[in-house]
Amino acid sequence: MNIEEIKTNYQNFDDSVIIKIAKNESESLVSEVKQILKDEILKRNLSSDLIDIIEQKQEYNTRGKFEKIIVDNKIYFANNFFRFISILSISIICFLFIVKPLIGGGGGIKMVFGVIILFFIIRIFIPNKIGKIILVKSNSIIFSLSPSPNFGFFRIIVLIRVIFSQLSKVEINYTQIIKIYRKTELLNNGYCVEYKNQETNQISEKRIYLDVIDKKDLAELIDFLKYKNINVEL
């Protein structure tokens, strides 16, 4: 059901149904439907307390969601595409340096089939979640730093470091963070955190490795950081 169909349904609901949804079901609605519900309440001149109830429930649920992230010390991992690329890269390397010498050479179709077989074997031993990129703590957050260099042969080293969570890291107190933003220049593109260094009392900047996080996780992380009153410019 699309949003227009939902809007039509709400327009046809009796006042009693609108009131019931506002009081008992609004916390389970997505933001677009909540707005439709609010619009109907205003249009029908129903009690403004209903809108207060909707917003209070939304705020309560949001706070609970973000506090759970802290309590669970949530870890954000590399995304599934990175896992796929990692397994594929390991499969190619294993074929070239282990299998190929054992079978006395191999290219073309033989290499393709060899890599595919290795891919499915290696995938069994690689966890679904690999590469701890970010760790959320009660008073601070730990970011993985963007690897440098990250091109050519060095990409293989980066893959290995991410898989085994061996990237360099920085832990920053939430109150120290000034802003998180993204540079978009052609030769200077990436995510950065600007913060006040406790040791030197100076403003520092670090390139953080958010590039490999799933889009949904990144959106949640951005909302969480905003919840912690951090300026996020992404």
DSSP letter for 213, please.
B
Q: 192 near 180, Cβ under 8 Å?
A: yes
Question: What pLDDT does residue 173 have?
Answer: 95
- Tokens 């440098």, residue located: 148
Question: What pLDDT does residue 62 have?
Answer: 73
Question: What pLDDT does residue 174 have?
Answer: 95
Question: What pLDDT does residue 153 have?
Answer: 67
- pLDDT digits 0-9 by tens, 120-156: 999 998 888 889 999 999 999 999 999 877 666 677 8
Which tokens hold the place of 69?
């992230």
What stretches in the chain show pLDDT beneath 50? none
Q: What percent of the chain has pLDDT over 70?
A: 97
Domain boundaries, the chain: 3-71, 75-233
Closest C-alpha to 188, from 146, 132, 141: 146
Is pTM, for the whole model, over 0.75? no
> What's the alpha-carbon Rg for the chain, to the nearest Å?
25
Question: What pLDDT does residue 170 have?
Answer: 95
Q: 182 near 233, Cβ under 8 Å?
A: yes
Question: What pLDDT does residue 66 have?
Answer: 86
Residues 193 and 214: their CA atoms lie apart, in Å, by: 19
